[in-house]
């Protein structure tokens, strides 16, 4: 059987096409989405945090790799990446069969230094163990290239089409295609496709930003309520705080009660109250309250 290819699209490609590419092959590249000025702005905001980070504690995270999170709280430019209209629309389209609302799963820079060996090939959906049925796709993932991604410096290995394989089926390195792309491009890939960071055989770092989205009813890999707590989130746009999870997942998923109670309000508070926002419309496909009551009986 002919191996699927890693498609590359122009930045003006419709989000529906990008979403379908992930359905078909599990991954694709959108080239040159960011210009040099945008990359410089991001680097100015995140480089000081990367410099303070330590390298990984094991082979999987990378002993010569720095991973730096909490990007929403630390970088306004990264918030713009998170809510990029075309990419976010593709994420919503891809995950909409399985949830009413999507949320952020993690935000993380991945800085691979010279001498780092190739990462173990894996599926990101294993963050939830083996409990999710194969038919449910839990994630839409992005890696934004802030430096050129090349075969020599560790461009991500991907096995296009492996999203259709049985979950227990593994891949060999010679079945992968490396996601070579210019700085400013973005790799999109599903939670089910097999992939892994490449070996850095060059004399320079390979820097990217990993931002991923998941189904709103799943637990996030990076705990956004600790990485970006209410006192920080209150100053962010509602589009961002909604993605962090400071909103209802559906009619009865995600409310909270203040430990000190808020006088004059019900004790089942909407999450928006914690960050000083006004609740928006319910997510699509949410049943009305009377229907929720019937379903709960």
pLDDT digits over 51-108, tens only?
999 999 899 999 999 999 999 999 999 999 999 999 999 999 999 999 999 999 999 9
Q: Give CA–CA dist 43/179, Å, rounded.
A: 21
pLDDT score, position 34? 98
220 belongs to a structural domain: no
295 belongs to a structural domain: no
pLDDT score, position 195? 98
- Mean pLDDT over each residue of the chain, to the nearest integer: 92
Provide the pairing of β-strand 27-30 with 7-9: parallel
pLDDT score, position 87? 98
pTM of this prediction? 0.90
119 belongs to a structural domain: yes
261 belongs to a structural domain: no
Total domains in the chain come to 1
Between 240 and 2, where is the model more confident? 240
154 belongs to a structural domain: yes
At 159, which CATH number?
Answer: 2.60.120.620
pLDDT score, position 214? 98
End-to-end CA distance of the chain: 51
115 belongs to a structural domain: yes
Q: Give CA–CA dist 124/179, Å, rounded.
A: 17
94 belongs to a structural domain: yes
Q: Is 85 exposed, middle or buried (0-12, 13-18, 19+ CB in 10 A)?
A: exposed
Residue-number span of the structural domain to which 67 is assigned: 7-215
186 contacts 143 by C-beta, under 8 angstroms: yes
287 belongs to a structural domain: no
């Amino acid at each position: 059987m002919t191996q699927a290819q890693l498609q590359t699209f122009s930045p003006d490609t419709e989000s529906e096409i990008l979403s379908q590419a992930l359905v078909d092959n599990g991954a694709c590249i959108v080239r040159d989405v960011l210009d040099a000025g945008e990359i410089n702005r991001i680097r100015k905001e995140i480089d000081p945090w990367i410099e303070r980070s330590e390298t990984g504690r094991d082979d999987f995270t990378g002993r010569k790799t720095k991973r730096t999170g909490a990007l929403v709280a630390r970088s306004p430019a990264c918030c713009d990446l998170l809510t990029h209209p075309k990419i976010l629309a593709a994420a919503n389209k891809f995950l909409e069969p399985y949830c009413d609302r999507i949320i952020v799963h993690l935000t993380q820079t991945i800085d691979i230094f010279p001498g780092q060996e190739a990462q173990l090939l894996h599926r990101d959906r294993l963050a939830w163990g083996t409990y999710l049925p194969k038919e449910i796709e839990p994630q839409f993932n992005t890696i934004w290239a802030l430096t050129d991604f090349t075969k020599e410096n560790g461009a991500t290995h991907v096995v296009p089409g492996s999203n259709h394989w049985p979950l227990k089926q593994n891949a060999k390195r010679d079945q992968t295609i490396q996601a070579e792309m210019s700085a400013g491009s973005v790799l999109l890939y599903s939670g089910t496709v097999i992939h892994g960071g490449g070996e850095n055989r060059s004399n320079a770092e390979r820097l990217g930003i990993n931002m991923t989205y998941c189904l709103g009813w799943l637990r996030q890999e990076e705990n956004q309520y600790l990485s970006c707590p209410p006192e920080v989130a209150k100053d962010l746009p509602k589009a961002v705080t909604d993605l962090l999870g400071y909103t209802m997942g559906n009619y009865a998923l995600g409310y909270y009660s203040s430990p000190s109670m808020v006088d004059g309000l019900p004790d089942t508070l909407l999450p928006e109250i914690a960050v000083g926002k006004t609740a928006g419309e319910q997510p699509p496909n949410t049943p009305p309250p009377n229907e929720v009551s019937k379903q709960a009986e």
